[in-house]
């Protein structure tokens, strides 16, 4: 599902050599759930007992009924939701009352609410999830916790040997950054919250436990509901992703039946596709994520090259003699000292990238454009080439950055494609090959764009020529007109 707030990751940098009220759950009676004959006609008996017990719990809590058009089932992805009847596009496939949502409001209303009030939302929800897990049979969420996996194929769970397969990639630097961040947050919350509150946390929470909770939130949380930046929805989070789904407007918060005689807010999920009985129900997790993002958040990638991307980071160097002027211009036009540009395979350069590059490269004879008299017009000037020297510097620096980044990978695109053709590889190795191949293809694409631009430098029209034309000082053949007194 939607991921937690993004965490800043290290990227390739280019420098220019210039001088809820408590959501209470229905009280579970002390009994084991019977799942035999009761479920035989409803759910595949090959489904694990934990899933069968979870399904029965959902029935007893009124979350599912005979009208619910989906059920858990075995699918190529592992476990998913399967249509029990034909479903039309935009049909409601499930509703989960608010009292079952796992979010900061649920934490605030719980026994650990007071000690978690000052924590980052994801950390408080992670602690809540861990506490429910360790409570075992005493947890009101026991049957949900039991169906959660021990981990995913997210790169945060990869071994050192597996991480070597993404050497040189931005995914590796992002993964290491995230792991360092999560470990740091764990040590802090362990010292400040967990250890001083033994009555609330009478069990040992390890770093691995904390990473498990982080991974569950990262891969299962929804974030597009009204006023909900982080919420896990039991039952709804069984739904899988498909590239066939090209919209994200499938989930919403609505008023609905929360029980036999009560109404409350419910999480409502609609099918973005028309389905036949027996087909799997899918949604789109996030259209904007790159394959590297998908690998980190969910533990899988798409074969679609549209997900291949590379983030180019551009920076105004503090050593630049025009640092203050350039920063002022950048901030006046929606940028800052550092700008990140996500470049996708098969697509043109992002809006504003060339303008920012030309600003960074301004100097020498072009530096007069940085004077305050041009401050309101400079961004418009930057939409077109400034000078040959400026444009040439841009091409040289970007191509050098691409060359440097490409040298960091331990395989070539051709070697990756050969490995892919051979097949017979683990899911993680397949992901690694897909991500590193995708990044390299984008880098080659960027290099080709600026290589071609270098061949056009003699034919581009620069600022001085445009200015002379505006003043009527250039003839039809491009020759400068000299005015002589009569």
Domain boundary assignment for the chain: 20-298, 303-470
Report domain 303-470's class: alpha beta
Confidence of residue 34 (pLDDT cuts 50, 70, 90): very low
**Region 423-428: what's the mean pLDDT?**
94
Annotated binding residue 409: no
Scored b (16 or more CB within 10 A) or e, 275-302 reads: beeeebbbbbbbeebbbbbbbbbbbbbb
Confidence of residue 33 (pLDDT cuts 50, 70, 90): very low
Give residues with Cβ within 8 angstroms of 484, minimum separation 6: none
Q: What percent of the chain has pLDDT over 90?
A: 79
Q: What pLDDT was estimated at residue 347?
A: 96
Token digits for 35?
């799942």
Euclidean distance between CA atoms 176 and 132, whole angstroms: 28
Confidence of residue 263 (pLDDT cuts 50, 70, 90): low
109-to-88, 183, 220, 222 alpha-carbon distances in Å: 38, 27, 22, 20
35-to-19, 51, 61, 127 alpha-carbon distances in Å: 75, 10, 15, 31
DSSP state of 342: E
Q: What is the pLDDT of residues 366-393, one digit of tens each?
A: 999 999 999 999 999 999 999 999 999 9
Cα angle 140, 142, 145 (rounded to 5 degrees) comes to: 125
Note whether 82 and 280 are within 8 A (CB): yes
H or E, element range at 313: strand 309-315
Annotated binding residue 241: yes
Annotated binding residue 352: no
pLDDT for residue 344 is more than 80: yes
pLDDT higher at 83 or 303: 83
Q: What pLDDT was estimated at residue 471?
A: 73
pTM of the model: 0.86
Q: What pLDDT was estimated at residue 223?
A: 76
pLDDT higher at 424 or 316: 316
Annotated binding residue 237: yes
Note whether 94 and 269 are within 8 A (CB): yes
Confidence of residue 6 (pLDDT cuts 50, 70, 90): very low
**Region 23-30: what's the mean pLDDT?**
34
Q: What pLDDT was estimated at residue 220?
A: 96
Q: Furthest-apart CA pair in the chain: how many Å?
A: 110
173-to-65, 165, 170, 359 alpha-carbon distances in Å: 46, 13, 5, 28
475 — phi, psi (to 5°)?
-75, 180
pLDDT for residue 116 is more than 60: yes
Confidence of residue 47 (pLDDT cuts 50, 70, 90): confident
Give residues with Cβ within 8 angstroms of 268, minimum separation 6: 92, 94, 95, 251, 252, 253, 254, 256
Confidence of residue 454 (pLDDT cuts 50, 70, 90): very high
Give residues with Cβ within 8 angstroms of 444, minimum separation 6: 402, 406, 413
Q: What pLDDT was estimated at residue 26?
A: 34
Confidence of residue 255 (pLDDT cuts 50, 70, 90): confident
Closest CA to 357 of 377, 334, 346, 341: 341
Q: What pLDDT was estimated at residue 22?
A: 30
Q: What pLDDT was estimated at residue 475?
A: 60
| Cα Rg of the chain (Å, integer) | 28
Q: What is the pLDDT of residues 48-99, one digit of tens each?
A: 999 999 999 999 999 999 999 999 999 999 899 999 999 999 999 999 999 9
| Residues 320/322/328/333 CA torsion (nearest 10 deg) | -80
H or E, element range at 356: helix 353-361
pLDDT for residue 183 is more than 80: yes
Cα angle 141, 98, 127 (rounded to 5 degrees) comes to: 45
DSSP state of 434: H
Annotated binding residue 441: no
Give residues with Cβ within 8 angstroms of 62, minimum separation 6: 97, 257, 258, 259, 260
Residue numbers annotated as active site: 285
Q: What pLDDT was estimated at residue 405?
A: 97
Annotated binding residue 77: yes
Mean pLDDT taken over the chain: 89
H or E, element range at 78: strand 78-83
Token digits for 29?
């009676």
Annotated binding residue 250: no
Confidence of residue 2 (pLDDT cuts 50, 70, 90): very low
Note whether 218 and 143 are within 8 A (CB): no
Cβ neighbours of 204 (radius 10 Å): 8
pLDDT for residue 411 is more than 60: yes
Annotated binding residue 438: no
Confidence of residue 398 (pLDDT cuts 50, 70, 90): very high
Helix ranges (DSSP H) in 250-320:
291-297
CATH 3.90.1410.10 at 20-298, yes or no: yes
């Amino acid at each position: 599902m939607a991921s937690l707030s993004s965490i800043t990751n290290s990227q390739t940098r280019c420098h220019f050599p210039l001088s809820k009220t408590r959501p209470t759950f229905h009280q579970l009676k002390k009994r084991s759930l019977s799942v035999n004959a009761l479920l035989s006609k409803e759910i595949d008996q090959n489904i694990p007992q934990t899933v069968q017990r979870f399904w029965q719990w959902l029935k007893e809590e009124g979350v599912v009924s005979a009208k619910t058009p989906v059920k858990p089932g075995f699918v190529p992805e592992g476990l998913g939701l399967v249509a029990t009847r034909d479903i039309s596009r935009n049909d409601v496939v499930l509703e989960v009352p608010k009292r079952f949502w796992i979010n900061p409001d649920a934490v605030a209303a719980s026994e650990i609410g007071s000690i978690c009030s000052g924590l980052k939302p994801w950390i408080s929800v992670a602690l809540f999830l861990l506490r429910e897990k360790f409570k075992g049979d005493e947890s009101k969420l026991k049957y949900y916790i039991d169906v959660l996996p021990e981990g995913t194929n997210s790169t945060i769970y990869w071994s050192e040997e597996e991480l070597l397969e993404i050497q040189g990639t931005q995914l590796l630097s992002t993964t290491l950054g995230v792991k360092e961040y999560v470990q740091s947050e764990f040590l802090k919350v362990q010292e400040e919250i967990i250890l001083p509150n033994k009555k609330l946390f009478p069990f040992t929470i390890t770093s691995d436990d904390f990473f498990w909770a982080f991974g569950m939130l990262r891969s299962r949380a929804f974030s597009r509901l009204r006023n909900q930046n982080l919420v896990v929805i039991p039952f709804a989070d069984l739904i899988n992703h498909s590239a066939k789904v090209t919209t994200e407007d499938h989930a919403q918060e609505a008023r609905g039946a929360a029980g036999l005689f009560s109404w409350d807010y419910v999480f409502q999920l609609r099918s973005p596709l028309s389905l036949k009985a027996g087909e799997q129900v899918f949604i789109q997790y996030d259209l904007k994520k790159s394959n590297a993002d998908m690998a980190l958040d969910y533990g899988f990638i798409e074969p679609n090259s549209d997900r291949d991307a590379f983030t180019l980071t551009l920076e105004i160097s503090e050593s630049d003699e025009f640092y203050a002027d350039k920063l002022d211009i950048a901030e006046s036009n929606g940028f800052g000292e550092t700008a990140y540009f996500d470049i996708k395979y098969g697509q043109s350069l992002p809006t504003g990238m060339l303008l920012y590059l030309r600003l960074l490269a301004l100097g020498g004879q072009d530096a007069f454009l940085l004077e305050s008299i041009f401050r309101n017009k400079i961004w418009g000037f930057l939409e077109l080439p400034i000078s040959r020297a400026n444009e040439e510097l841009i091409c040289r620096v970007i191509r050098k950055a691409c060359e440097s980044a490409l040298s960091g990978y331990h395989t070539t695109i051709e070697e990756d494609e050969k490995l892919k053709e051979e097949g017979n590889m683990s899911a993680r190795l397949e992901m690694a090959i897909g991500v590193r191949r995708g990044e390299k293809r984008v880098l080659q694409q960027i290099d080709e764009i600026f290589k071609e631009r270098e061949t056009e430098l003699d034919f581009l029209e620069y600022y001085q020529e445009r200015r002379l034309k505006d003043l009527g000082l250039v003839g039809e053949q491009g020759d400068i007109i000299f005015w002589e007194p009569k």
